[in-house]
Chain A
């Protein structure tokens, strides 16, 4: 199946710093990418939908200035957690949908720990 690469897989940072997470579709083009957050033992919570070349669409309750999303190419989307605080610690997962399909593939996730 198609591969989505997410980097880094684990990051520890100090409170107040910003962290960037990359999501790449390796062998297909993805006009649309998604960013999810997953709390322990819970399902995925959609944070935002990222469309190449346009502004991301954020779900209700997600601060767009806190979670900056850039989808500059058909194979790369980035999520930047700005001025991270301990409550931002979580597992973040990206997903990419094939431009010419409906299948959606997921990255391996990034575990963010903010001290």
Chain B
């Protein structure tokens, strides 16, 4: 079946690294995404990784993919107050016009001083 799971909350100190974890069940996923949602706003595509990659880095963001364990993580280096948001992990199954993104429940990241 299709299922994406995330922990609901994460609290980190400003300046530390944040690591948000996600597990998925469908091994045929082609793309895996990380979206950010700030309060009252839509979803912002942060980064994505293709299923044949292990790692992708983009400035402060590092995505790690372990296909064997079906585990995806997002690391935010030097976490700032502006990083406070809900982060959604999502997967998309083999592409077709009917394919849908499956979202996790979202991880609420809070930053403490």
Instruction: Count contacts on B: residues with CB < 8 A to the other chain.
Output: 22
Interface size class of A (residues with CB under 8 A): 20 to 34
Quick check: B100 and A103 within 8 Å, CB to CB?
no
List, in ascending order, chain B residues with CB within 8 A of A46's CB.
100
A74-115 contacts to B, CB under 8 A, are 93, 95, 102-109, 111
A104 to B100, CA, bound (A): 10
- How many residue pairs between the two chains, A and B, have CB atoms under 8 Å in the bound complex? 50
Known A-B contacts A31-B97, A43-B88, A49-B98; the reply to A107 vs B42 at CB < 8 A is yes
Q: Return the contact of B42 from the options A1, A42, A106 (Cβ within 8 A).
A: A106
Quick check: A104 and B40 within 8 Å, CB to CB?
no
**Chain B residues engaging chain A, CB cutoff 8 angstroms:** 30-31, 33, 35, 40-45, 48, 88, 92, 95, 97-98, 100-101, 103-106
**Chain A residues engaging chain B, CB cutoff 8 angstroms:** 1, 4, 6, 31-32, 34, 42-44, 46, 49, 51, 57, 93, 95, 102-109, 111
**7 pairs from A and B in contact (CB 8 Å cutoff):** A46-B100, A95-B43, A106-B35, A107-B42, A108-B41, A108-B42, A109-B40
